Amino acid sequence: MKNGKIFFLLVLAIFLSSCGGQTVTVSTTTTTSTSTTSTTTSTATTTSTTTTTNKMDGNYTGCAVGAYINGMENIGSFEAAIDKNLAIVLWYVHWQDPFPTADADVVFANGSVPLITWEPWISGLPNTLEAISSGSYEAYVRTFLQAAKDWRHPLFLRFAHEMNGNWYPWDGAHNGAAAGPANYINAFIYIYNMRQQIGASNVYLVWCPNNNNVPSESWNTIAAYYPGDQYVDWIGMDGYNWGYGAWESFNTIFYGVYQTLTALTAKPLMIGEFASATREGSRADWLTDTFSKVENNYPRIKAFCWFNINKERDWRITGYPSGEAAFRQGISHSYYIESMLQ
């Protein structure tokens, strides 16, 4: 009966964990007794089995819905517009700024996972990446990651994105050109090593290039910047339909980089940023085509974040009825997931 009870409890744990969204811990105790003429002693051995079921490892079918909504106060209105909860909320933190605990709390209370893009805007240095990897900012990096660990909930940390472009102080073009990819890898591994030292296992590191290599030079390839599977939890890709004479379909923007990334690694893949302009084409049609393509032709894409702001273009769908309707309809299928946490 003792062995049968243990087997029953383990089967029960497996059944409960398959229900999703919870952490189930089952303990089994086995007691043995040994006797001599004068004494009897008992030894208890406890075995705990813990099963955590969330989607942070990327092992699921479907695509998680995310967005940059330009302020936490806009979460509710954006979700109302798309008629779905956000599984992921994207925002940006500048170098030297502290870990954004208050914003992360708002996101978690909404049932969403933070996607924090950590941007090393360091001015006045000839090589931003070498300054990071050499430990010049160790106190700041350690404090930031310790606060992330102390927050205790799962989060994505996208460090120094679009490194294969030429518009950021952390890209290869601004960090030695041909030496840039190696300098980038050193900085990324430095962040990884600090996370490991601190034990911030709730922090999932995202490595995220741009869809196009700028400049288009032999040294500036996506693969050249990849640190290796050991140092990366998720991979990403960014891309935009800019319009204004450069109207591009989802396939035109992402097919090439998708093929490159999925050949490079089996790590789970997200679209870190994407959006479409409105000029010289129908954004509603673009959205309809996009969400159909993601669902039917891009199975490795496990999450996306729409860039909902009026910036270089008016990327917003909110306030544009046809765009809202197409977005809402496009993600209405159950394939598009509202939570990473269950």
Q: How far is CA 267 from the centre of its chain?
A: 11
For residue range 54-97, list pLDDT tens digits in order.
899 999 999 999 999 999 999 999 999 999 999 999 999 999 99
For residue range 169-210, list pLDDT tens digits in order.
999 999 999 999 999 999 999 999 999 999 999 999 999 999
| Element spanning 78, H or E | helix 75-82
- Distance of alpha carbon 133 from alpha carbon 307, whole angstroms: 30
Average pLDDT over residues 217-234: 98
**pLDDT over 90 (residue 37):** no
For residue range 291-325, list pLDDT tens digits in order.
999 999 999 999 999 999 999 999 999 989 999 99
Average pLDDT over residues 227-233: 98
Q: Tell me, what's the pLDDT at 242?
A: 96
| Element spanning 106, H or E | helix 101-109
Tokens of 10: 């383990």
Single pTM value for the model: 0.85
R_g (Cα) of the chain, nearest Å: 23
Q: Tell me, what's the pLDDT at 53?
A: 58
For residue range 127-150, list pLDDT tens digits in order.
999 999 999 999 999 999 999 999
Contacts of 14 (CB under 8 A, 6+ apart): 51
